[in-house]
């Protein structure tokens, strides 16, 4: 027997591939079974006369989708197709038996058409890309390959003895086939979306603890706007307050008609109760909507909350003087706002300076309001935060980080819509986790 380094041209895959020929036979004992290792040998495996596999019992992790080293392979999005191909091959060519105890190491025996052992490999590897030496593995793994028919025969006798000591339950689908069928199954888009949210945020549930985020001393729970919120809006406000406190910014990206304005009003009132100064920037056509909620007007059903924020148009950022409603732009202390609410924030998606020179509204907002003066938190509202490219979203998130690219990369995940927690809870209910 000789030792395999499992790197370069001295890998398990290089040893076994020459013997995977049409009509030959394959015996495998392995603690795991990776789809991507199967893909490496797939064209040749289909030409074998038969195969015998000993794998861990039901409930064991077979690592069908490999390890972190297989990320590039998973990114090809072929896992479902590979699972179907592998299941078909196992059903047509292979006989499966399950080990009674954990499988400590792997063994592979290749036989010719007559069943005579030709090549054998034994040691600390598995039926995986790492075990085959295709991706980097543990350099301490001790792997040996046969150098003569006699050595191959010795290992084949060991395999035959193990195989004979195991029985197969013909009334139950083997664990590997059950796992392959789960990978190959079609999943609807909603379930896929909820699974992604669960994967991203399952460890962050306590971060949205209302008692920790919302300071009761402000009296926000006694306000009319807080009591008017629906449950999903309530969750959205708590999530937004958490992100404003931790990251300095947030995008509420609920669809049209879900009440982004009322969520924003609740957030505004929370900051007003803390004695913070608030500015609302909105398109000119929406100005009346925002000014109504701060006016002593019979149409304003939130009048008891006595809102006191300033309202300016997006276009007012391009002017140094003149009036905007009852505000004289020449006297505005731009750097003194603690919270800026940007309605239709996708209008600030493009931060490039015009060819003729000068500042864009984006540049002025960043310079005069966000970077100068007191620390400014930024709440953005948009049903369509991404218009043409991902840079549109990035440019909006940059308001929360004052243009700091490092912080942008670290905290970009804060820009999620307020339905995230609701979707996560829904998926938890599917899994009986909630």
Segment 192-248, tens digit of pLDDT: 888 887 777 676 655 567 778 888 888 888 999 999 999 889 888 998 998 898 888
DSSP 353: P
pLDDT at 332: 86
pLDDT at 147: 93
Q: What CA–CA distance (Å, rounded) separates 335 from 75?
A: 45
pLDDT in tens, 202-215: 766 555 677 788 88
Whose tokens are 């789960």? That residue is: 182
| Mean pLDDT value across residues 130-141 | 92
**Which of 354, 400, 410 has the alpha carbon at shortest distance from 377?**
400
- Specify the long-range contacts of residues 133-140, CB closer than 8 Å, at least 24 apart: 133/4, 133/6, 133/7, 133/10, 133/11, 133/12, 133/13, 133/14, 134/11, 134/13, 134/36, 134/37, 134/40, 135/67, 135/69, 135/70, 136/69, 137/6
CB-based contact 431:422 (threshold 8 Å): no
DSSP 416: -
Region label for 375, one of left (φ > 0), alpha (ψ between -120 and 50) or beta (otherwise): beta
- Give rounded-to-5 percent helix, strand, coil for the chain: 45, 15, 40
pLDDT in tens, 88-117: 999 999 999 988 888 999 999 999 999 999
Task: Indicate if the pLDDT at residue 354 is higher than 70.
Answer: no
Tell which CATH classification among 1.10.260.40, 3.30.870.10, 3.30.300.30, 3.30.360.10 matches the domain 2-186.
3.30.870.10
Q: What CA–CA distance (Å, rounded) separates 415 from 409?
A: 12
| Alpha carbon distances (Å) from 80 to 1, 96, 183 | 38, 21, 6
What is the residue extent of each domain of the chain? Answer: 2-186, 190-430
Minimum mean pLDDT range among 124-138, 214-228, 373-387: 373-387
| Mean pLDDT value across residues 373-383 | 88
Q: What CA–CA distance (Å, rounded) separates 52 from 57?
A: 15
The residues pairing with 187 across neighbouring beta strands, listed in sequence order, are none
Task: Indicate if the pLDDT at residue 413 is higher than 50.
Answer: no
> Token digits for 152?
């191959």
Same CATH topology for 2-186 and 190-430? no
Look up the pTM and report it: 0.54
Task: Indicate if the pLDDT at residue 162 is higher than 60.
Answer: yes
Output the average pLDDT for the chain: 85
| Alpha carbon distances (Å) from 54 to 143, 174, 225, 376 | 19, 11, 64, 62
190-430: CATH topology is Rossmann fold (3.40.50)
Q: What percent of the chain has pLDDT over 70?
A: 87
Residue 327 φ/ψ, nearest 5 degrees: -110, 130
CB-based contact 121:145 (threshold 8 Å): yes
> Token digits for 225?
């706007």
Which ranges in 280-360 belong to alpha helices (H)? 287-292
Characterize the bridge pairing of strands 50-55 and 25-29.
parallel
CB-based contact 131:125 (threshold 8 Å): yes
| Mean pLDDT value across residues 348-355 | 64
3-state secondary structure of 144: strand
């Amino acid at each position: 027997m000789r030792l395999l380094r499992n790197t370069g041209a001295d890998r398990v895959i290089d040893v076994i591939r020459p013997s995977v020929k049409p009509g030959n036979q394959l015996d495998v004992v392995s603690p795991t079974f990776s789809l991507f290792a199967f893909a490496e040998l797939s064209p040749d495996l289909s030409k074998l006369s038969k195969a015998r596999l000993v794998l861990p019992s039901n409930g064991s992790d077979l690592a069908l989708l490999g390890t972190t080293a297989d990320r590039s392979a998973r990114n090809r999005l072929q896992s479902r197709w590979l699972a179907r191909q592998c299941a078909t091959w196992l059903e047509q060519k292979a006989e499966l038996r399950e080990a009674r105890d954990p499988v400590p190491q792997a063994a592979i025996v290749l036989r010719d058409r007559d069943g005579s052992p030709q090549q054998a490999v034994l040691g600390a590897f598995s039926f995986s890309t790492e075990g085959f030496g295709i991706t980097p593995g543990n350099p301490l793994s001790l792997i040996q390959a046969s150098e003569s028919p006699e050595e191959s025969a010795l290992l084949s006798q060991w395999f035959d003895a193990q195989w004979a000591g195991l029985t197969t339950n013909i009334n139950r689908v083997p664990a590997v086939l059950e796992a392959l069928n789960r990978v190959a199954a079609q999943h609807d888009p909603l379930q896929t979306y909820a699974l992604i949210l669960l994967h991203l945020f399952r460890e962050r549930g306590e971060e949205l603890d209302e008692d920790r985020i919302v300071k009761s001393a402000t009296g926000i729970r006694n306000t009319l706007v807080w009591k008017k919120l629906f449950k999903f809006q309530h969750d959205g406000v708590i999530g937004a307050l958490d992100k404003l406190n931790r990251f300095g910014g947030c995008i509420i990206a609920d669809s049209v008609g879900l009440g982004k304005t009322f969520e924003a009003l609740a957030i505004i009132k929370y900051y007003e109760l803390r004695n913070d100064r608030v500015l609302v920037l909105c398109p000119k056509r929406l100005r009346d909507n925002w000014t109504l909620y701060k006016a002593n007007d019979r149409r304003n059903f939130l009048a008891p909350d006595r809102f006191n924020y300033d309202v300016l148009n997006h276009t007012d950022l391009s002017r140094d003087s003149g009036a905007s409603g009852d505000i004289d732009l020449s006297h505005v202390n731009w750097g003194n706002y603690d919270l800026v609410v940007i309605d239709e924030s996708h209008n600030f998606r493009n931060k490039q300076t015009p060819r003729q020179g000068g500042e864009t509204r984006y540049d002025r907002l960043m310079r005069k309001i966000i970077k100068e003066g007191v620390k400014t938190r930024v709440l953005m509202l948009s049903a369509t935060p991404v218009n043409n490219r991902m840079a549109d979203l990035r440019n909006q998130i940059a308001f929360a980080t004052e243009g700091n690219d490092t912080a942008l990369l670290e905290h970009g995940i804060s820009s999620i819509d307020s339905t995230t927690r609701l979707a996560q809870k829904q998926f938890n209910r599917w899994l009986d986790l909630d």
